[in-house]
Structure 1
């Protein structure tokens, strides 16, 4: 036997690595067991794959092939230490240790499959615990969510106090416990969280009930969140739909319940929940839908509002009154089930009529004006809370302006290649009475009255001649219309002809370019710029000779403002669109100040300028703007290649500016300022003067808060040609006709075979005629000769039938129609009803 190696530890010397030669290495055994476990895992994977693919034969073969491995592995795991080493080479064990059961660690080492299974079971628990801990560590503070107020709520009133539009997000006043009606609290609790006063922030019973009903219904029909959870989500969390947010919502709900009373939680929820139509909070919703504070809500109104929080945008009564009413009935039934009200009280509430008191839908054309005053209101009072604007807009003049512009462009725009127009009407003090920023706000929100900068053309000559009159020139002063050259610039007249000596009054009226260029050169272009600035022009004005002929780009509003300064004899005239702004308090937040005494034009020069402006309309380029029995002055403007056409005119009460052109700056078909712009001005002024004299037009208006009786009859209902009528033979009509008529078209009726044509109406057939016949069925109509023209006026229930038909878009007005019928047609155009709904 060889001697022991002194460098090698001997068996029994206490080194755990000591073993005799040929002794099995336990680490090697462990590696072998691990390898066997891997093989086992692969075999199990093959079995699972085979079962999933339906390959039974392959699975059986894999199982048979693995059977020896299972037996080998089992034998190795169960084999005692004596089987792997001779008895004389294994150290003796303490009997107590030999009899002690193996620990969990040993068991798991002996059974690696069991260890893997336990690890797989523990992994989700560990991950869930980690997510809960992470959610807790990143928990936001209570009330830490910054509520996005959006645009503050604006209720917009016309100059006479009629509300016609709303914008922004309504917030209302925070509700207090004293303001909370019991039936409102009961309705919210019944439909949203029946066990609100008994749970501790999380309702496990409610969660299980919601899960059961959702599973039975095949979709999400009921939520499991409590009012407390909804409150913390609204005030402290984002609206993202993640598991982390739900965990944080539950944790914060527990915290809120420990720090706040139930009543405070309920009030906080009611003050922050969204109720549709831009209303945040129950008080805002009550005012938005019913025109009253939350304290004054009736039981059916409270039930309707309580039913909105589940789907506010879908059920908002302003857009889905039927759906909101059905949901309110569900709330009332739920209140009966919870014992909050009796069945009799619920039936009585269902029988009550719910009346919405909301501003009407915004008339489309007023949006240009609304965009402007919304920005102005923010500048004047940049405070939070809902506000009401009393504006300068005259709804009757606004509707008239929209109708006039649409009528002219529809009739002549395509032929003359004029696609757009804008109009501004000002009072002498600068109040904006009407504004049309374009042909169709829905197509383009660009306001061509305030945002578009275009070359003014001869419209700019106002400043040239006024500068001259202030420096000693007079309308009778004579200059020679002849070819001239100023530096490298040679101005030309529009007709390329020269008149020779002409008085300034005539040169201004005929818009002679060479004379204007000579005046600007004589007084100096800087003097012309200074005059324009004094009258309120703020756009860039280049110091070049061509400025005299309007080469600078300006807006319609600032040019109309400048002309208003001449009429008002106060410069500059400050244009404004808001009279006053009111908030929740008794005192207004803003009141437009009375105009202060400022600069004025020299008396002689102003008088001479007004005389020259009147000469333009009397016999110059603006003859198309003449209005019978009304003194009118103004100025035309036309730019190179007919890209822009302007007319700004004035009466004793109004200053009206009109622009016509194309957005792409393309040329029109020889449209000058005395053409379409002057015609639009004339159409507007001759009817506006009548309306202003009456104070308010007596005609239907969807923009009114208190509709005229005629609005009840619109939209027109009618039918097709009546049987037995003789449309080709018009009978002699006596002084007056009574009876139930048949309808030939919307402008022609037949009374027992006698044909009557309505004054000023070009009838339409088809669907519109059938609708009119249904409306007139079994109703008596009385027709009498019209006082203002040859023809008949017919009345039904005291209302003028032609006006009703035109206001409802049932026909077109003829060119010879009286002003009230033209106004009715323009109303229908602006509101896009009847045949104008499909017209562009």
Structure 2
């Protein structure tokens, strides 16, 4: 039997032969051969990759544990957003973040998709969420310029950041962005990612999604985008605050040209097509061009909770405003106030125009919304002066007095108060229609006493005045404060034949699905004046313009109205009707300081006439010295 020593000999012999073979290969006895060239490089790379994977697992788990919920990515956030449209469906303003209609891929214009891919992520259809080449190029450019001149985020990364993450520039946010990008690419097709991106990304001006952006900037839905509009929207994405056409239209056009050039470079469009698109004008929605609409839209916005409660979903509000009428009103106020404001020490003015049923077609709440958002049509409470005499004379007509009834214009003292006339003269025995046309204060005060002040106050209430009315002797001269909106509505009741007028601006409210939440339903008309009484007052108001204190408002067509001027020239008004509209104008100072002898028959009447001239000629360039010619094509108190 062999000993244990004999058994170990073969093993030692084999080990010796192995070591000898290695030494033979390496050239050095007993040592491994060193790795050289590519073998060494790949070996090192493999080691790095192995360690990277080992380290990446805990890093990924660390940053992934608090990733946001991504289970309902396509759901539009519920916001109390409000989009306000004019009578024609054009957007006037939006409040809060606006989300438009969700568009499927086939409904999103191909021009927008091409502009987006050409500008934001040209290799979108070839990468897996991270564009290594683009990222490397961005890093090189930034290092070469020693500043951040180029980003490397793909469309998928932008979607991940915009939907789920903040904009903070941290390592954690960037890693989570990459992880979410991988998740998006694994769970959605490229077309689905583009669809979600187009419907959820922020375009500026409170608009989220391509449809909201198209409606906000261009006044129409996204399905009908032109090539230039599509390129402009794609260009906004680089920096909505910088490239928004509402912010800087010239810069927006320059950015649009860059996008069109990108589309040419990406072979989406031909050079001649891009050049034609660069020359095309884009009709930017009127809400961006002027702040004038905001007085009106603020008034609309404040009424919504009373009609449907506080909005908890995006809603669309259709209104009565006519943009052409609004712009004519703004032009009339600006022209006359620019001409007379400084010399007359009058800093503010307001105008409201409504149909005889109370539908508000224009509202100028002040000279500059940017400087003051206080609405002098609906929010201000000012003395109406002699414009309040409407209620005195209406109450008198109801009690059997007529325009031919005579009263004596003479001094009168009530409770120690002695009213005077504007001229300081007294005319003696005169008819009521003459006293009304010439705004004789003594007769109005005597008349109110004759028929009882309570009846005057009741008449004002019946015609829609809701503010407190102090039944004192001076009440007949308009010493109780009212709003221009309610006063104009009261006059509208006279001009519509005696039916009560409640001013309104909201026609319909819908949610984003088109469900009607509210619709203006006026109901049966409420007769507040006998037709004969309303007709008689219309004739008396016409005489105010033809031969009384409002001669400055005379037109080539029938008009009627009443002036109002308060003590020390603190307020001046003219409220009148013509061309089936009823319009009220107020001029004054917010601090109630005195103007330089401004009467209702002066500056307010001229603003009113300027506005009516523009409406009658359908020209916003018309002035009080414009010859009364046929409309042509528009060029580039007394």
TM-score tier after normalising by the smaller chain length: 0.7 to 0.9
Residues 143 and 235 in structure 1, CA contact (< 8 A), matched pair in contact too? no
Which of 364, 375, 396 is 2:301 aligned to? Answer: 375
Structure 2 partner of 1:282: 210
Report what 1:172 is aligned to.
Answer: 100
Give the SS at the match of 2:587. Answer: strand
- CA radius of gyration, larger in: 1
Contact 1:183 1:302 in 2 (8 A): yes
User: Matched residues in 2 for 1:232 and 1:670: separation?
Assistant: 64
- Output aligned runs, 1:6-405, within 5 Å: 135-142=63-70, 151-156=81-86, 161=88, 163=90, 167=94, 171-179=99-107, 188-189=116-117, 191-193=119-121, 196=124, 201-202=129-130, 206-276=134-204, 279-285=207-213, 305-316=233-244, 318-319=249-250, 320-333=252-265, 335=266, 346-347=270-271, 349-350=273-274, 353=277, 355=280, 357-362=282-287, 364=290, 366-367=292-293, 370-372=296-298, 374-375=300-301, 378=304, 384=313, 387=316, 389=318, 391-393=320-322, 395=324, 397-405=325-333
Match of 2:365 in 1: 437
The answer (yes or no) to whether the contact 2:356–2:492 under 8 Å persists in 1 is yes
- SS of 1:656's equivalent in the other structure is strand
Cα distance 1:604–1:300, how it changes in 2: closer, same or farther (>3 A)?
closer
Greater CA drift, 240-249 or 369-378: 369-378
Q: Is the 8 A contact 1:572 1:599 kept in 2?
A: yes
Look up the match of 1:819. 628
Equivalent-residue separation in structure 2 for 1:675 and 1:347 (angstroms):
59
Contact 1:143 1:232 in 2 (8 A): no
Q: Is the partner of 1:563 in helix, strand or coil?
A: helix
The answer to whether the aligner puts 1:409 opposite 2:337 as a matched pair is: yes
* SS in structure 1 of the partner of residue 99 of structure 2: coil
User: Could you tell me which residue of structure 2 aligns to residue 601 of structure 1?
Assistant: 529
Q: Alpha-carbon deviations, 1:535-591, whole Å to 9, x = none?
A: 111222234333222111112221111111111123321323455668877887766
Alpha carbons 1:582, 1:588 under 8 Å: kept: yes
Q: What SS is found at the alignment partner of 1:466?
A: helix
Q: How much is the aligned-residue C-alpha RMSD, in angstroms?
A: 4.3
SS state of the match for residue 526, structure 2? coil
**Alpha carbons of 1:455 and 1:223: their partners in 2 closer, same or farther (altered >3 Å)?**
same
Q: Is there any run of 5+ residues in structure 1 with no aligned partner, and where?
A: 1-127, 692-696, 702-805, 808-812, 834-840
d(CA) in 1 for partners of 2:497 and 2:201? 54
Q: Does residue 654 of structure 1 match 2:581?
A: yes
Give distance in 1, aligned partners of 2:551 and 2:108.
66
Deviation string, structure 1 residues 630-654 (Cα, Å, up to 9, x no partner):
4443222111111111222234733
Number of residues of Structure 1 aligned to a counterpart in Structure 2:
570
Q: Which residue of 587, 590, 599 corresponds with 1:672?
A: 599
Q: Using a 3 Å threshold, how does the CA distance of structure 1 residues 218 and 143 change in structure 2: closer, same or farther?
A: farther
Distance 1:143 1:526, change over 3 A: farther
C-alpha change, 1:255 and 1:533, in structure 2 (3 Å) is: same
The answer to whether the 8 Å contact 1:300/1:349 transfers is: no
What is the rounded CA distance, in whole Å, between the counterparts of 2:101 and 2:523 in structure 1?
35
Match of 2:433 in 1: 505
Distance 2:426 2:232 in 1: 77
Higher RCO, Cα 8 Å, sep 6+? 2
Counterpart for residue 562 of structure 1: 490
Q: Distance in 1 between matches of 2:115 and 2:438?
A: 75
How much has 1:156 moved relative to structure 2? 3.7
SS state of the match for residue 655, structure 1? strand
TM-score normalised by length of structure 2 = 0.75
1:569–1:600 contact (8 Å) kept in structure 2: no
Corresponding residue for residue 763 of structure 1: none
Corresponding residue SS for 1:425:
strand
What CA distance in whole angstroms lies between the structure 2 residues aligned with 1:361 and 1:149? 24
Shift of residue 193, structure 1, vs aligned partner: 4.2
Paired residues for 1:330-729 under 5 Å: 330-333=262-265, 335=266, 346-347=270-271, 349-350=273-274, 353=277, 355=280, 357-362=282-287, 364=290, 366-367=292-293, 370-372=296-298, 374-375=300-301, 378=304, 384=313, 387=316, 389=318, 391-393=320-322, 395=324, 397-487=325-415, 489-577=417-505, 592-593=520-521, 596-628=524-556, 630-651=557-578, 653-685=580-612, 688=615, 690-691=616-617, 697=618
TM-score (norm 1): 0.58
- C-alpha distance 310-150 of structure 1, shift in aligned 2 (>3 A): farther
Q: How far is the alpha carbon of 1:182 from its aligned partner?
A: 6.8
Change (3 A) 1:508 1:294: closer
Query: Per-residue deviation at 1:601?
Result: 0.7
Deviation at 1:180, TM superposition (A): 5.4
Deviations along 1:363-406, one digit per CA (max 9) or x if unpaired, are 537425543565278556758558484634261x5444444433
CA distance in 2, matches of 1:215, 1:138: 32
